[in-house]
Structure 1
Amino acid sequence: MLTEIQLKNFKAWRDTKAVRFAPVTMLLGTNSSGKSTLIQSLLLLKQTALSPDRSIHLNMGGDEVNDLFNFGDFDNVLSAGVEGEARRFELAFKFSRPDSERVTQGEFSCSYGKTSSGAVVVQELKLGTEGFQLRVLRRDKGAFSLVVNDEVQPRGKGRDYAPERSIALPPPAIVALGAEGPLVQDLSLAIRRELEELRYLGPLRRKPERDYVWNKSSPGDIGSDGAKTMDALLASALLRDGNQAKVLDGVSTWLKRMKLADRIQARQVGRSTRYELVVSRDGVDANIRDVGIGVSQVLPVLTLAHFAAPGSTIVLEEPEIHLHPLAQAVLAELFVETSRKRKVQFIVETHSEHLFRRMQTLIAQDKTRPDECAMYFVERAQKQARLRPLQIDEFGAVNNWPEHFFGDSVGEARAQALARASRMRSDRHG
């Protein structure tokens, strides 16, 4: 689970400071305020960790098939106005792993600069765990030095010590670290796993098809647009692997709680190799293409919540899109209950007042605690983003409510009352 993140000189963020991540973390705020940038920083590190090129320092994207996001070049992500030797940006996070792992907690921090050729290059990499920290510093002519803890002299220096994919070191560097080499390898592996187990679902989800060809296997992920949702549901319904129907049943349960459907089921189309997804409601069965768009758009959200492996971090942008208010509110219950039951983490970027209000209610009902959820309001101060942690007490009350957080509902009610009174007076005298 990710426990903390910090960005410096990254797009609209000069310095986020340390941002605490909880089992359920919500990012709220105005459009183009910087919410998505927090998520994008994690996607940047994930696509770097999964890059086929071991020598790459940071994978800025461009591969439409394999990359999650195209960040452009160094100057596209560096905060505006950063000049001189300060022309670097930094990405950092902390994490905790299950007790069964060799590395149970750790931290990653890396600052990046630009070479004369325009390439993004590591300037300083920090990898740490309990009682240990390694710094990898870029020196002249592309050489890197290895510094362990507070040692004055580096363990080694050379061009063949350059970091790989920002998170690991090549064999010569591991050898130079001596007894600490295996620990660094374990730490790099734990960081890689944390990034690999990050599952992202964006706000633009693919519309469903009337039927699908299925290759009789389970996908590794449902994709950033939910394209593999049907494959995951078919695998749940039809593969006999000991987990049969768990995903399908879980999705059906939440659709019913949202009052969107009674259940969903997968059916073979005749005797062909194609399958359809059928939505049942009030005794009527309908193909997924023939029901409201809200069902098809929330389906990837519900599927991912039950399909992602325990220990995963699920990152969602606007999960509430096309949902009516009740269904939006029930999403809060999904995040809280699923996080506890399946041991998955949710990081949610949302504009939904109904979702946020239900989170407050769940805290007030003692169904979750303030330490199990973290809520932030992101706003823009001129060219820079600013993050405000919302102080929520044990009864769900926000103690530092931002001005016009969800509009002025009290002001709207007052304006309606005044308008009604004015029109009634006018009608009486007319």
Structure 2
Amino acid sequence: MIKKFGVKNFKAFKDTGDIELKPMTVVAGPNSSGKTTILQSLLLLKQTLENKNPGVELDLDGRFMQLTSLKELGFGKPSSQKCEISYAFTLETEIPVKVAPRYFPNLTVSEESHQLSLLSDVAFSFRCMRAPGEKQRIQVAKFDLQTHLDDFAGPRFSFRYAGKEVTAQVGGAGIDRMQPGRDRKILAVGGAHFVPSFLLFKRLGNPPEERTQVAEVWLDQIFAIPLRELATELERNIRYLGPLREEPKPAYLHSGTSSAEIGKRGEFAAQILWLERNERILYKPSLYANAETVSLGNAVNDTFRRFGIADGIEVKSEESVTYQILFPLMGHKGKKHVTIADVGFGVSQLLPIVVMGLRSQSSSLLLFEQPEIHLHP
């Protein structure tokens, strides 16, 4: 889980400092103060990890941001050669107890323990580089991973490298296979996008024919576990709802996609609510209530009742081609309903937030961009 993060030289920020992520984190400020920039810094990494080409280390042209060069992101509009943007994350991950003795031989744990808390600091930067005979492209300029057990005064492990063809620095017990030596050197660091996963070694020994042998060595678990966690958090667990929501409509057309996300404008809310209305979710109706397993449809209805907005809503579909969101007509004794287009505009702003929140796992990071134009006086 990401505990905090920060960026440097990114658009409006020379340095954001540490931004701690709590169960609810509110970023508020005047216009053009950088609120959206903070979200964009995370969405840029998310769209990179979603790119089907693992060789793209930073994707500037994806579904959240569309840029043509790195300098468009740089603080103070530097030249392409001087532009370098940096990220820093602090993660808390779990490492299996059975793996721990290899790295922490003096550690004593109870028999009931199955997981140990691993704290990791990950920092990396991007800049435009040009290899001989190649075009200039964005690459990871520096990478630094520091990790240790929480509440344990034991060894700390480090993995650092700069560029793609330099010697990586690896420190810590139990990771000899990753260490360079007199008989081998590290040629490069490989992986998917900006996340390293293996080292490329070249043999230096005799006989001469062995000098051309190259071998891949995967990162030890002490490094691989937090890096996988970071990639998962950024790619799969971030959910984003933008400021320009889908206008309320009498009926919504089927999107033709089985998107698992609500959409940047909440445009898939009606479709998802219909298709997953009977899916069982873990629902906690209030802060002090016990969690219970209910259907998504019932959870949405209960949420709107608690907000005092409607005594339940109904979703209808015509052969999965169109979807309607219906609200009971207030003050009417019968079962007459009106569509979401006939109720307050704020309801259409709230519905995607409710559906998105109820469908998300506890480990998800939900990003809501809610400008003051949509706030009720």
Q: Same fold (TM over 0.5)?
A: yes
Structure 1 177/221 Cα, relative in aligned 2: closer, same or farther at 3 Å? same
The answer to whether residue 227 in structure 2 is matched with residue 188 in structure 1 is yes
> 1:125–1:166: 8 Å Cα contact kept in structure 2?
no
Percent identity for Structure 1 against Structure 2: 25
Secondary structure of 1:145's aligned partner: coil
- Matches of 1:321 and 1:300 in 2, distance apart? 17
* CA gap 1:187/1:322 in 2 versus in 1, 3 angstroms: closer
Q: Alignment partner for residue 121 of structure 2, among 102, 107, 112? A: 107
| Structure 1 pair 210–94 and aligned structure 2 pair: CA distance change class (3 A) | same
* Alignment match, 2:162: 137
The 5 Å alignment of 1:60-139 reads 60-61=60-61, 63=62, 67-80=63-76, 87-97=83-93, 104-116=118-130, 117-130=135-148, 131-138=156-163
The Cα shift of 1:84 comes to 10
Instruction: Give the Cα separation in 2 of the matches to 1:22 and 1:240.
Output: 26
- Work out which structure has the larger RCO, using CA pairs closer than 8 Å and 6 or more positions apart in sequence: 1
Q: 1:114 Cα shift? A: 1.1
Q: Give the 3-state SS of the residue equivalent to 2:45 in structure 1.
A: helix
Please tell me the residue identity of whatever aligns with 1:111.
S
Determine helix, strand or coil for the equivalent of 2:273.
helix
Aligned amino acid, residue 227 of structure 1: E
Matched residues in 2 for 1:96 and 1:242: separation? Answer: 23
Q: Number of residue pairs matched?
A: 314
In structure 2, how many angstroms separate the alpha carbons of the residues matched to 1:250 and 1:240?
10
Deviation track 1:248-279 (CA, whole Å, cap 9, x = no partner) reads: 3333333334433222111244x775432111
Query: How big is the alpha-carbon RMSD for the aligned residues of Structure 1 and Structure 2?
Result: 3.5
Q: 1:149 to 1:17 in 2, by over 3 A?
A: farther
Distance 1:133 1:92 in 2: 15
Distance 2:281 2:23 in 1: 29
The answer for the alignment partner of 1:168 in structure 2 is 196
The one-letter amino acid of 2:186's match is K
Alignment of 1:298-337 (within 5 A): 298-318=350-370, 321-325=373-377
Instruction: Give secondary structure in 2 for the equivalent of 1:69.
Output: coil
Name the CA distance, whole Å, in 2 between partners of 1:98 and 1:150: 18
Q: CA deviation at 1:75?
A: 0.6
Q: 1:5 — aligned with what?
A: 5
Q: Which moved more, 1:111-120 or 1:306-315?
A: 111-120
Deviation string 1:275-321 (CA, Å, 9 cap, x unpaired) is: 32111252451112222221111111111111112210101101775
Q: CA deviation at 1:83?
A: 7.1
Q: 1:137 to 1:215 in 2, by over 3 A?
A: closer
More helix as a share of residues: 1
Residue in structure 1 matched with residue 187 of structure 2 by the alignment: 158
1:237 to 277, 296, 310: 277
Residue 28 of structure 2 aligns with an amino acid whose one-letter code is: L
Contact 2:124 2:142 in 1 (8 A): yes
- Shift of residue 192 of structure 1? 1.3
Deviation string, structure 1 residues 185-210 (Cα, Å, up to 9, x no partner): 33322111111201111101122443
What is the CA–CA distance in structure 2 between the aligned matches of 1:297 and 1:68, rounded to whole Å?
20
Structure 1 residues 238 and 176 mapped into 2: Cα distance closer, same or farther (>3 Å)?
closer
Q: Which residue of 2 aligns with 1:407?
A: none
Amino acid at match of 2:311: D
Change in Cα spacing, 1:85 to 1:119, as seen in structure 2 (3 Å) is closer
Match for residue 197 of structure 1 among 217, 231, 237: 237
**What amino acid is aligned across from residue 6 of structure 2 in structure 1?**
Q
User: 1:15 and 1:44 mapped to 2: Cα distance?
Assistant: 17
2:282 & 2:275 partners in 1: Cα distance?
A: 12
* Structure 1: segments with no counterpart, 5+ residues: 326-430
Assess, with a 3 A threshold, how the Cα gap between structure 1 residues 203 and 313 changes in structure 2: closer, same or farther: same
Q: Corresponding residue for 2:106? A: none
Give the conservation status (yes or no) of the 8 Å contact 2:301–2:313: yes
In the alignment, structure 2 segments of 5+ residues that lack a partner are: 97-114, 149-155, 202-213, 284-292
Structure 2 equivalent of residue 262 of structure 1: 311
Normalized per residue, the structure richer in strand is 2
One-letter amino acid matched to 2:39: I
Q: Which residue of 1 aligns with 2:246?
A: 206
CA distance, structure 1, for counterparts of residue 280 and residue 192 of structure 2: 40
SS of 2:192's equivalent in the other structure is coil
Against the structure 1 CA distance between its residues 104 and 253, is the aligned structure 2 distance closer, same or farther, given a 3 Å change threshold? farther
